[in-house]
Amino acid sequence: MPEIPCSKCRRPAIIFQRYSGLHLCRSHFVADFESKAKRAIRQHRWITPGDRIGVAMSGGKDSSALLHFLVKLLGKRHDISLVAFTIDEGIQGYRDCMVARRIAEGLGVEHIPASFEDYFGITVDQIVGKKGDRLSCSYCGVLRRQLLNRVAKQHGITRLALGFNLDDEAQSVLMNVLRGDADRLLRPSGAAEGLVPRIKPFMYIPEREVALYALLHIEGFEIGRCPYSHNALRADVRNLLNDYAWRHPATRYSLVNLGERLSGIGGDVPAAAICESCGEPFIGECRTCRMLSEVLDDLC
């Protein structure tokens, strides 16, 4: 097949953006990608002088691409520091912290590992062994979010950078709609007291573009999915949304914009209480302690 020229410079294109109608060569794709991520940071005022940014580093395409981008953007600044850390959930054959360590150290960034087993005394595999895998993603998600916050605070992190992309954000909005979860849809986006603020520079960038950016800049990132992910509602929503967005390319942007507009009418950030058992903030109830109590009682 003949090469398709870039819409901006006539060099060979490496990607076609269906939502913009543009074919882009490598240099114009990278410029477009990084411009969108920088715009998101400026729009939300996510980074300020003196920040110590912790990148949640799974070793997959999204977090690896994010770390590369932030090193490129901030690596020469003396008023901002970067650190990467990896959470090992305890899923045999899935999480290899050495992959994330190699990528982080290759970019000159300190890498810190943490594990469910060390902090909670249990692994996801053990939870599945006792409770079955139907709710594995619910248990893992709750424990992972708390551990990210705990490790971030222990290492003086002021901003927690997540590799969530446009697809992830659109899926989250649609999941909340399908569950009828008005509280989550209307909840303001600011961080509750005791929670390290999250930043998501790739939230307006499609997953396939994040994957391409990673392929262009990072070698050896992990490409496998969690073996329990088939149980998650997100898997069904991903398939549904991919099918619909193929015919209507702007759908994901519309969902993310809807989510942001709804969160803006949710009033003040809910006040968080501090759990007497684990010392972490919670709203409503400490789901981490409740889940751990359920699982550990079953193990006894």
Question: Does any domain span residue 239?
Answer: yes
Query: Locate tokens 């919670």: which residue?
Result: 282
Rounded CA-CA distance 56/112 in Å is 10
Instruction: Determine which of 46-60, 64-78, 111-125, 229-243 has the lowest per-residue pLDDT on average.
Output: 229-243
Average pLDDT of span 40-68? 96
Does any domain span residue 176?
A: yes
Is residue 76 included in any domain, yes or no? yes
Is residue 7 included in any domain, yes or no? no
Q: Give the chain's end-to-end CA distance (angstroms, integer).
A: 63
pTM of the model: 0.93
Residues 6+ apart with CB under 8 A from 181: 175
Whether 27 is covered by a domain: the verdict is no
Residue type at 7 in one-letter notation = S
pLDDT in tens, 240-258: 999 999 999 999 999 999 9
pLDDT average, residue stretch 70-93: 95
pLDDT (0 to 100) of residue 227: 87
Distances (CA, A) of 289 to 48, 52, 139, 255, 286: 34, 28, 11, 33, 6
Both tokens assigned to 100: 């994330």
Which SS3 state, helix, strand or coil, does residue 86 take? strand
For residue 277, the surrounding DSSP H or E stretch is none
User: Residue 57: inside a domain, yes or no?
Assistant: yes
pLDDT of residue 298: 63
Mean pLDDT value of segment 39-52: 96
Query: What's the mean pLDDT in 213-222?
Result: 95
Please count the structural domains in the chain. Answer: 1
Model confidence at 269, pLDDT cuts 50, 70, 90, reads low
Write down the residue that tokens 């392929």 correspond to.
Answer: 215
Residue 297 parent element (H or E) = helix 287-299
- 44: CB partners within 8 A, 6+ apart: 199
Give the H or E element holding residue 203.
none
Residue 9: in which H helix or E strand, if any? none
| Alpha carbon distance 1, 12 (integer Å) | 12
For residue 207, give its domain range.
32-299
CATH number at residue 155: 3.40.50.620
Residue 272 one-letter amino acid: A
Pick from 162, 190, 216: which is nearest to 53 by CA? 162
In a domain, 4, yes or no: no
CB 53 within 8 A of CB 158: yes
pLDDT of 300 over the 60 cut: no
Does residue 11 lie in a domain region?
no
8 Å CB contact between 253 and 260: no
* Average pLDDT over all residues of the chain: 92
Look-up of token digits 């751990």: 292
DSSP state, 15?
A: E
**Cα–Cα distance measured from residue 118 to residue 207, given in angstroms and rounded to the nearest whole number:** 32
